[in-house]
């Protein structure tokens, strides 16, 4: 892997986590036969992003005819054919084993994917912006995003969370499919601005770029990366059997959140952090994420009770799941020595024991009413 591809792999890992990014995508459909599934792949639950990258040596002299030929042959030709091959491989083989950037191998199946996003990235800073392609539509592969590498970097740096990056790419597909040729599309920055301002039905215009330039990026209000980095190896409860990878499902649930979800969770964590510092008990705090239908419950335990923390974490996680009638529940327990996690994923069923215990001693804080809030805010508002 050359330096640019290494940089892209590291870049994707920072935004989509190493657990969900795949850069060593050789697989073997049959003995002695090696194939590659995308230059880079992002796979989060039912979302799959296949990325092909085409690079060219930087040239000091602009030659429009050569640039156009390179775009046509390498970007709109070879790269889109590779995307088509990737999709064909997935359909043909049914199961493809790929290894993520944590060196864990997983079996990818078509039935697992609901949202498939295809991207061709190209790197050449001398290309005329007026002739840079934004898409390719294939009869076999469907809509393929086409963009310069620096535009992709800008998208990720602006939107930050995996959920929002993926949501923008789906938004971009719908906008471009509706307004492409013979209509002249504006810059990528303008399309991102149109997404930020939530204008899915508006005609794309360069003026939307202003929303990117004036976006308030208060990342500290929703950045919980330091918490997520503690998940590995700290799962106390899971209904699966793969102990080494149990934490993946917890990380998946966090990866599906947008910044307002994360902001609300961070506000809850501040209360729990304070209780741990003061070694006092705080009633568990809950939130249910409507668009994922997953619940999160955050709790702490005092030093004198820390030997019972795993049991308390399990019981509280199951109680929260039951009370909210959910299928999936994440539990996070803070204590003087660190953080423990629990994950439960099974259908809700009426349980007389839990029902009785909740009526006798309801353990949770009163839920806060959901406040309608714009996801993004801007300097001129």
Residues 51 and 199 in one domain: yes
CATH classification of the domain holding 71 = 3.40.91
Residues 166 and 245 in one domain: no
Cβ atoms of 333 and 343 closer than 8 Å: no
Residues 61 and 174 in one domain: yes
Q: What is the pTM of this model?
A: 0.89
**All residues at 6 or more sequence positions from 148 whose CB lies less than 8 Å from its CB, including other chains:** 121, 122, 123, 124, 127, 132
Residue 242: pLDDT band with limits 50, 70, 90? low
The answer to whether position 109 is within a domain reads yes
Residues 239 and 190 in one domain: no
pLDDT at position 27, please?
Answer: 66
**All residues at 6 or more sequence positions from 274 whose CB lies less than 8 Å from its CB, including other chains:** 282
Q: In 3-state terms, what secondary structure has residue 175? A: helix
Determine what percent of the chain is predicted with pLDDT higher than 90.
53
Of 217, 247, 263, which residue constitutes the final position of a domain? Answer: 217
Residues 284 and 166 in one domain: no
Cβ atoms of 122 and 146 closer than 8 Å: yes
Cβ burial of 93 (10 Å; 0-12, 13-18, 19+) is: middle
The answer to whether position 327 is within a domain reads yes
Q: In 3-state terms, what secondary structure has residue 299? A: strand
Residues 205 and 242 in one domain: no
The answer to whether position 367 is within a domain reads no
Q: Which residue has the higher pLDDT, 318 or 243?
A: 318
Residues 250 and 204 in one domain: no
The answer to whether position 187 is within a domain reads yes
Helices 162-179 & 3-16 angle (0-180, nearest 10): 110
Of 193, 217, 241, which residue constitutes the final position of a domain? Answer: 217
Mean of per-residue pLDDT scores for the chain: 87
Tokens representing 273? 């952090």
pLDDT at position 77, please?
Answer: 83
Residues 247 and 310 in one domain: yes
The answer to whether position 183 is within a domain reads yes
Q: What is the pLDDT of residues 141-181, one digit of tens each?
A: 899 999 988 999 999 999 999 999 999 999 999 999 888 76
The answer to whether position 141 is within a domain reads yes
In total, how many domains does the chain have?
2
Residues 224 and 213 in one domain: no
Residue 360 pLDDT greater than 60, yes or no: yes
Q: Which residue has the higher pLDDT, 31 or 133?
A: 133
Residues 72 and 151 in one domain: yes
Write the DSSP symbol of residue 137: E
pLDDT at position 130, please?
Answer: 52
The answer to whether position 370 is within a domain reads no
Domain of residue 137 covers 3-217
The answer to whether position 28 is within a domain reads yes
Q: What is the pLDDT of residues 283-326, one digit of tens each?
A: 999 999 999 999 999 999 999 999 999 999 999 999 999 999 99
Residues 85 and 197 in one domain: yes
Write the DSSP symbol of residue 367: P
Of 189, 217, 245, which residue constitutes the final position of a domain? Answer: 217
Q: What is the pLDDT of residues 335-357, one digit of tens each?
A: 999 999 999 999 999 999 999 99
Residues 81 and 123 in one domain: yes
**All residues at 6 or more sequence positions from 225 whose CB lies less than 8 Å from its CB, including other chains:** none
């Amino acid at each position: 892997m050359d330096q640019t591809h290494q940089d892209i792999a590291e870049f994707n890992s920072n935004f989509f986590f190493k657990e969900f990014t795949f850069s060593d995508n050789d697989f073997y459909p049959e003995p002695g036969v090696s194939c590659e599934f995308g230059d880079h792949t992002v796979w989060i639950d039912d979302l799959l992003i296949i990325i092909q990258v085409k690079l060219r040596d930087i040239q000091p002299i602009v030659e429009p005819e050569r640039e156009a030929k390179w775009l046509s042959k390498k970007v709109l030709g070879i790269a889109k054919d590779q995307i088509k091959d990737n999709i064909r491989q997935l359909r043909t083989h049914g199961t493809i084993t790929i290894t993520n950037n944590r060196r864990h191998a997983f079996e990818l199946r078509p039935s697992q994917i609901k949202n498939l996003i295809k991207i061709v990235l190209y790197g050449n800073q001398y290309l005329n912006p007026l002739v840079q392609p934004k898409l390719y539509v294939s009869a076999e592969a469907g809509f393929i995003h086409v963009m310069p590498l620096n535009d992709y970097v800008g998208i990720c740096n602006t939107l930050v969370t995996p959920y929002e990056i993926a949501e923008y790419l789906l938004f971009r597909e719908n906008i471009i499919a509706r307004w492409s040729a013979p209509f002249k599309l504006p810059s990528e920055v303008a399309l991102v601005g149109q997404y930020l301002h939530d204008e899915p039905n508006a005609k794309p215009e360069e003026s939307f770029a202003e929303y990117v330039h004036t976006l308030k990026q208060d990342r500290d209000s929703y950045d919980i990366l330091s918490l997520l980095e503690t998940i590995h190896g700290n799962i106390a409860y899971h209904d699966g059997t793969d102990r080494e990878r149990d934490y993946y499902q917890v990380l998946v649930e966090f990866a599906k959140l947008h910044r307002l979800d994360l902001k609300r969770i961070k506000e809850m964590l501040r209360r729990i952090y304070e209780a741990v510092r003061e070694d006092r008990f705080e009633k568990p705090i809950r939130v249910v994420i409507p668009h994922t239908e997953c619940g999160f419950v955050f709790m702490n335990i005092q030093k004198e009770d820390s030997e019972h923390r795993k049991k308390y974490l399990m019981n509280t996680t199951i109680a929260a799941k039951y009370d909210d009638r959910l299928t999936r529940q994440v539990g996070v327990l803070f204590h003087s020595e660190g953080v423990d996690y629990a994950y439960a994923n099974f259908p809700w069923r009426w349980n007389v024991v839990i029902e009785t215990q909740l009526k006798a001693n309801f353990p949770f804080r009163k839920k806060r009413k959901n406040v309608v809030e714009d996801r993004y805010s801007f300097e001129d508002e």
